[in-house]
Structure 1
Amino acid sequence: MSVGLINGLPGHPLFVHGAVVLVPLTALALVLCAVWPAMARRLGWMLPVLGLVALALVVLTTESGEWLEERVKETPLVEAHAEMGEGLTPWVIALVVLAVVVWWLGRAARRRPDGEDAVGSPTGGGPTGGRASTTARMAASVPVRVVVLVLALVVSVGAVVQAYRIGDSGAKAVWEGKFSTGEPGEKG
């Protein structure tokens, strides 16, 4: 299956709608989970999966956009949009990486430094008991949580802003000068 055509229609506008929804949703979920560890525990592995789905949609959108660019009239607006198009992928990769970090920290923080997990069961105290306690202390430490939160905020804002800028340039490339701003039936 080509990402260029879906049921005879260009795939790009179809993939765009998914990416436009999932990138901001992933960014919001990431920030919420970084601020509120209970949310990270509730979402669990769904946070990294959401990020991976958003990344897949961004890659499909970019690939289908390149396919479409070769088949539409070249204009300065289309060129500007195409140049911006690949700029979202690094931001979404960073979202996925941070989603995995937040998920991992949420799992690690479940273990208490005193050798018990979050429900009060001993962690085993064997050869990995000391490492688990150290990891749990690190995951629960304020400096680590603050650094992860700041990174999550920066990457989330960057991803959403970049998605908006690319989408805005695409909308201008498609629609600028192709409709009337007057009342229906008016010319001009």
Structure 2
Amino acid sequence: MLPETINGLPLHILLVHVVVIVVPAGALLTAVGSVWPAFRRKLGILTPIVTLIGLISVPLATNAGEWLEQRVAPTPLVQAHVALGDTLLPWAIAQFVLATVIWAWYRFFAAVPVVPEAPQRNASVPAFAGAAPAGDPAVVGGGSPADVSATGITPARVSAGGGSTTLDPVLGAAPASASSAGNTASAAAYTGRATRRRASRPVSVVVSIVLIVAGIGVSAGTVAKIVQIGESGSAAVWTGSFSDAPLN
């Protein structure tokens, strides 16, 4: 249970400072992070945390405002401010949910480019040859040298345990030949590590576009609502409370 006043000041006027700073800050981080990958990666989970703090501050400020409402004159400006204040919570909830979804999507589900590590090879065997001779086991799937030379790259053979393993020229580290059960299992394991069960590239593009639109739209709406509520609160406090001419 929070106190109604602090040092003689109503708690509401102190909590609204948290709301008008933290909630727009969370909205700005969400909007920028939705369109700027490097910024989003740098902040990480900080954006959902900021929006969560803003979400918690909203009902606290609203409850403190209800206490203060009963102790001030019920002017139309005060009633308008109270009505607008009650509309902020859904925006704060949407802001937190959206920030969390954006962070979780790019952290766990969105497709990412896979950059394979450099393959380990026998130093005595060149990584690439000009053209594979007939019957060369580097030709994948029993194809001809022409099949390989058409790409301009011949996969390298790496000595390992007395045998030879064919490297995929695209993935660089995955066994390209499925002539043995060991190679098949190794290729499957490599593929699983590379994709990490993430969404496909087309799905990731569509979801990213949706998150960008939602991030900018919800963030803009949240900031606009904060400005509207703050303006109504200032009007309720200061309208008719000061003189146009100096009193002293």
How far residue 6 of structure 1 moved from its aligned partner, in angstroms, is 2.3
Name stretches of at least 5 consecutive residues in structure 2 with no aligned partner. Answer: 117-173, 175-187
- 1:88 and 1:162 in contact (8 A); partners too: yes
Structure 1: distance between partners of 2:25 and 2:77:
28
| 1:93-145 deviation per Cα after TM superposition (whole angstroms, max 9, x unaligned) | 101011101111221367636597xxxxx9x949x759833337477x22111
Q: Is the 8 A contact 1:108 1:135 kept in 2?
A: no
Structure showing the higher helix proportion among its residues: 1
Ranges in structure 1 where 5+ consecutive residues have no aligned partner: 117-121
Cα distance in 2 for partners of 1:136, 1:108 equals 13
How many Å separate the matches in 2 of 1:12 and 1:175? Answer: 16
> What is the CA-CA distance between 1:157 and the residue it aligns to?
1.1
Count of residue correspondences? 179
Check the 8 A contact 2:27/2:220 in 1, yes or no.
yes
Distance 1:134 1:6 in 2: 51
Partner residue in 1 for 2:31: 31
Give, in angstroms, the shift of residue 180 of structure 1. Answer: 2.4
Change (3 A) 1:131 1:6: farther
Name the CA distance, whole Å, in 2 between partners of 1:144 and 1:110: 9
Structure 1 partner of 2:164: none
In 1: Cα distance, 2:7 partner to 2:202 partner: 51
Q: Equivalent residue for 2:104?
A: 104
| Greater relative CO, 1 or 2 (CA 8 Å, sep 6+) | 1
**Whose Rg is larger?**
2
Secondary structure at 1:179 match in 2: coil
Matches within 5 A, 1:34-113: 34-108=34-108, 112=112
Identity of aligned residues (%): 42
- One-letter amino acid of the structure 2 residue matched with residue 47 of structure 1: T
CA-based RMSD: 2.9
What is aligned with 1:162? Answer: 225
Counterpart residue type for residue 166 of structure 1: I
Instruction: State the partner residue of 1:119.
Output: none
TM-score (norm 2): 0.64
**Counterpart-to-counterpart distance in 1, 2:211 and 2:199:** 15
Q: CA–CA distance in 2 between the matches of 1:73 and 1:129? A: 66
